[in-house]
Structure 1
Amino acid sequence: MTKEFIKIGLVSISDRASSGVYEDQGLPTLKNWLDSALITPSQIVARLIADEQNEIESTLIDLVDHENCSLILTTGGTGPAIRDVTPEATLAVADKEMPGFGEQMRQISLNFVPTAILSRQVAVIRKQSLIINLPGQPKAIA
């Protein structure tokens, strides 16, 4: 009997962590949260990349089109800074936008991070995959 599992892509988007300036906190936080939240067996495909729109787009496309991830969670790059382009990259690869996810995430995050209202998370569907942008702060992810 073959064991069923969900394939999940995790993408931490950070210029400094991807270049080794400091240790990435996004991927470990996402993995820990998934370990506590999921009851279905899962396979994780993780990526740590810079906040470059082309790189984000190509990573999301690869995780959906080639890795066959059913769910992709990103962290980082959702703020108002000029270098924060995760929402734009996510929307660029989308087939459909899922309104409401961003508003709900900001509402919940405001209980933990006072600047959460500045976050610009989006959620989209590409093919049969759900892509959700999460905040960059580990305490807001959880």
Structure 2
Amino acid sequence: MLDYVIPGLADAIRRSGLPKVPTSVLSRGVCGVAGRTLIINLPGSPGGVRDGLGVLADVLDHALEQIAGGDHPR
């Protein structure tokens, strides 16, 4: 269903929960793009969602700019 997967983002979300929940490495979360839509599969627990949103806070603006066709500044 995704045009392409962004494995690094899903990995970062998994790693963010690792200090508190060692089993977070078992998450099957996926992140990717379908068309021009960023799709993020967050964990099912409130703490996992909080951790995932913390990761996204640092990269979301840049990810959306890239999906919209932006270029990296030189």
- The TM tier, using the shorter chain, reads 0.5 to 0.7
Structure 1 segments unaligned to the other structure (5+ residues): 1-92
Gaps of 5+ in 2: 51-74
Runs of 4+ aligned residues of structure 1 deviating over 6 Å after TM superposition are none
Aligned length: 50
2:26: which partner in 1?
118
The aligned counterpart of 1:96 is: 4
The structure with more strand, counted as a fraction of residues: 1
> Normalising to structure 1: TM-score of the pair?
0.33
Once residues 12 and 46 of structure 2 are traced to their aligned partners in structure 1, the CA distance between those partners, rounded to angstroms, is 17
Opposite residue 128 of structure 1, the aligned amino acid is R
User: Normalising by the residue count of structure 2, what TM-score does the alignment of the two structures yield?
Assistant: 0.61
User: Bigger radius of gyration, 1 or 2?
Assistant: 1
Amino acid at match of 1:131: I
Partner amino acid for 1:106?
R
1: distance between equivalents of 2:24 and 2:34? 26
1:109 maps to which residue?
Answer: 17
Return the structure number with greater helix share.
2
User: 1: CA distance between counterparts of 2:39 and 2:47?
Assistant: 20
User: CA shift at 1:137, angstroms?
Assistant: 1.1
Query: Per the alignment, in what secondary structure is the counterpart of residue 41 of structure 2?
Result: strand
Residues 109 and 140 of structure 1 are in contact (CA less than 8 Å); yes or no, is this contact kept in structure 2? yes
